[in-house]
Every structure is written in C-alpha cells, then in structure tokens.
Structure 1
Amino acid sequence: MLKTDFKKELDCYRAPKGRFEIVDVPDMQYLMVDGHGDPNTSRDFAGAAEALYPLAYKLKFASKQKLERDYVVMPLEGLWWADDMDAFTTARDKSRWDWTLLIMTPEWIDEAMFAEAVEQVAAKGAPGRLADVRLASLAEGRCVQTLHVGSFDDEAETLARLHNDFVPAHGLTMTGRHHEIYLSDACKVAPAKRRTILRQPVSAR
C-alpha cells in the first residue's frame, strides 16, 4: 500500500527561505479548533493541540484499514489574527491574538469517519477540547509565503516586510488570515532551528 505524503505532493507545503513567493493554494479540508490568547500561556491552546493529534492519527488508521488509503499525518498549522494586525508585526501582544489550530486531512475523509473517530477518541478519555474540533474546508487561493527559520518571536521583521513592502509593491491586498505551517516539532527542535512556512492570502487591488 502506497503512503501519500502531501507535504511532498502539494507545492504549497514548500516555500523558499529568504524571499517571498506567490502560490495558488487549493481548497483543502482540515481538522479545526478555535481559541484566543497567548499560545504560550493559554490552556485553550494546549487543549486544542491535545485534541487534534489523537483525531488525526485515528483518521489516518481508519483510512488505511477501511479504505486502503494510507497517508502521512500532516503538521500542525495555525491561522492567526487580531483586531489590529500590528499586534503581530509591532507590539506582538499575544494576549490580543485569535487563532484556529489546524491539521490538514485528505478530502476522502468524510463526516461519518470524523464522527466515528471522535467517538473512539472520547471512549479512551476525551481530551478537554475534543468537542470543539470540527471538520471543515478552507479556501485561501492566491497567497504569498516564505520559509522562516528561527524562533516564532523572530517572525515580526519578516511579517512587516511581507505586509508593508512585498504585498503593496506587487499590487496586492491582504484578504485572509495569517497562516503558519509548523514543519518542525516545537517540543523537539531548538527555537533557532524551527522551520515555519509563513503564508498570507492576497488578491489583486
């Protein structure tokens, strides 16, 4: 049985370091859970991740066993926004951040499989935010992205250049939420070596 690795198959899961690239991102399906506040201190944030991973792996094994379609579980991702986007690029006031944590899930995973997986995870001791997880699609379309290597707190300069220089210089307008794809496990990789795709949906002005 072949195992699909969407990180290798989808161009939008690759990004250049040190420069911005415009890509067209296909509509994709995700496990999603929402929250608010500083990811370093928010119980909701930790609880969201704890709920997403068991579901993601339960769905992977169900797909392999029932559909004979195996795949690599995708990395954690996050959508981030605030009433004032300077909270990301200048003040970095994390207490003002809203977020949605995501794990991309193949389109052949349907609501019935999702509901069954939720029941199975709950039966083994439900993570606190399991009931908040949903299966939904995200349409981003045209995006600008780059690969950031380093601490999450060092993203501000890159984001400022993206928002204030690259986007307007190319006749674009930001349209969606700031998107991060965590290619490195933050629990295992030192901050200076973490690899994160920074993505911003855009449209022509």
Structure 2
Amino acid sequence: MTFDVKKEEKQFYSAKGPELIKIPSMDFMAIRGTGNPNDEGGAYQRAVQTLYAVAYTIRMSEKAGISLPGYEPYVVSPLEGLWWQDGYAGVDLNKKSDFQWWSMIRLPRFASHEILDWAKNTAAEKKKIDTSDIQWFTYDEGLVVQAMHHGPYATEPETVSEMNDFVSDHELKEDFSTRYHHEVYLSDPRKIAPEKMKTILRHPVKK
C-alpha cells in the first residue's frame, strides 16, 4: 500500500474557512533563501527544482534497485514555504523582493540523515546539480490559524484578512516571534488555472 500523507493526515492538508489547529513537529528537506519567488530562474525557483530532484531520488530508489532502510512506497508530499521579512512582524505579501524564505518538502517517515545525504549526493551526480544547500529542517509549528486560499497567490491578502478577523474574534494573538507565515501548495501552478489553485495558509498564534 502506498502511503500518502495527504490522506493519512488529512487535518494538516485540508481546510475550509479559518480554523484553529495545532501542528506537530515535522521533518523536511529544505533550502533557505531570499528574494522574489517570481523571478524567472531566480533562487526560489532553483530551490524548488533542487528539492523535487532529491525528493524523487528517494521516491524512486526502489525502482532503481536501491534498498533504503525502512523504505515504503509513498507519495511525495506537497511543496511548502515559510515566508517573512526582516524587521516586520508577520509578512507583507506585497513586498516580494524583501522575502526571506524556507522552501521545503516533508520527508517520508522512514527518512534519516543518512538517506537524505545519499539522495543529495545521488541527485547531484546524476542530474549535475548542486544539492549542497538542502538541509534537514525540523519545524515545530504548534498552534496556528489556518485557512484554504482559493485562487492565485496575488489574492492571498484577502484570505489573510479573514484569518486576522478570526484571530480577533477568538481572543487570540498572532505570534511571529519564532514562527512564520506558512503556505502549503496543494496545486501545481504549471498545470492548473490560477482561479482553481488551492493553498493552505497558516499564521502562528497564542491564546
């Protein structure tokens, strides 16, 4: 049976209107960067391509005749991103050139540091790419308000406004001291119309 985290942990990969939810600690392969994600051929787009190359090296290892310890068939998890700007509490989605970010893909549950290192080295050799920026990244997110955003990334501020109203109405407070604006990308913008895209947005909060 193929393990699909979106089905096994539905509460973390689906949402409707704003809701309060606690997210457990999760392990990712991740790249840290800066700058506008829309820059053609820029750092963010290169990071995404590199992450997917390594993710699928692990995913396809069995078919390549490699026996990784504990391997089980699985679906590669969605791309995710943490976003912030220096000196700003939260994130200003209209100032993309100032973005600081982590681009990341959740690791399969059998993953280890040794498996990630093997996948980085294998992808670098086979695909002639630099995978050295990929890190093992553990994010203990905790209590958040999350909501499903429908539509292009440019209209995300509308959903963020609804999340802010939810925070105020439920006597919560945003807490960006050590946590970030978080996006979980459930749609591939290369394959789906912008108005049909789905993205989970999360903001850290405390009571």
Q: Give the structure-1-normalised TM-score.
A: 0.89
Q: Does 1:174 align with 2:177?
A: no
Q: C-alpha distance in 2, partners of 1:99/1:202?
A: 19
One-letter code aligned to 1:34: R
Cα distance 1:126–1:155, how it changes in 2: closer, same or farther (>3 A)? Answer: same
Asked if the contact 1:87/1:94 (under 8 Å) is kept, the reply is no
Q: C-alpha distance in 2, partners of 1:135/1:5?
A: 21
Alignment of 1:11-50 (within 5 A): 11-16=11-16, 19-41=17-39, 43-50=42-49
Q: C-alpha distance in 1, partners of 2:106/2:140?
A: 12
Q: Answer 1 or 2: which has greater helix percent.
A: 1
Q: C-alpha distance in 2, partners of 1:62/1:141?
A: 33
The percent of aligned pairs where both chains have the same amino acid is 35
One-letter code aligned to 1:53: Y
The superposition leaves residues 139-173 of structure 1 with CA deviations (integer Å, 9 ceiling, x where unpaired) of 0111111111101000112212323x221321222
Which residue matches 2:72?
A: 69
Which residue matches 1:98?
A: 100
Which residue matches 1:134?
A: 135
Cα distance 1:8–1:86, how it changes in 2: closer, same or farther (>3 A)? Answer: closer
Asked if the contact 2:150/2:197 (under 8 Å) is kept, the reply is yes
Asked if the contact 2:90/2:181 (under 8 Å) is kept, the reply is no
Alpha-carbon RMSD = 1.8
Q: C-alpha distance in 1, partners of 2:101/2:71?
A: 34
One-letter code aligned to 1:101: S
Q: Where in structure 1 are there 5+ consecutive unaligned residues?
A: none
The superposition leaves residues 42-75 of structure 1 with CA deviations (integer Å, 9 ceiling, x where unpaired) of 6111110111001111122347843341110011
Which residue matches 2:3?
A: 4
One-letter code aligned to 1:126: K
One-letter code aligned to 1:200: H
Asked if the contact 1:179/1:200 (under 8 Å) is kept, the reply is yes
Q: C-alpha distance in 2, partners of 1:68/1:195?
A: 30
Which residue matches 2:191?
A: 188
SS of 2:88 mapped into structure 1: coil
Query: Matched residue pairs, number?
Result: 197
Q: Give the structure-2-normalised TM-score.
A: 0.88
One-letter code aligned to 2:104: L
One-letter code aligned to 2:77: M
Q: C-alpha distance in 2, partners of 1:138/1:49?
A: 18
Which residue matches 1:156?
A: 157
Deviates more, 1:169-178 or 1:73-82: 169-178
Match of 1:117 among 113, 116, 119: 119
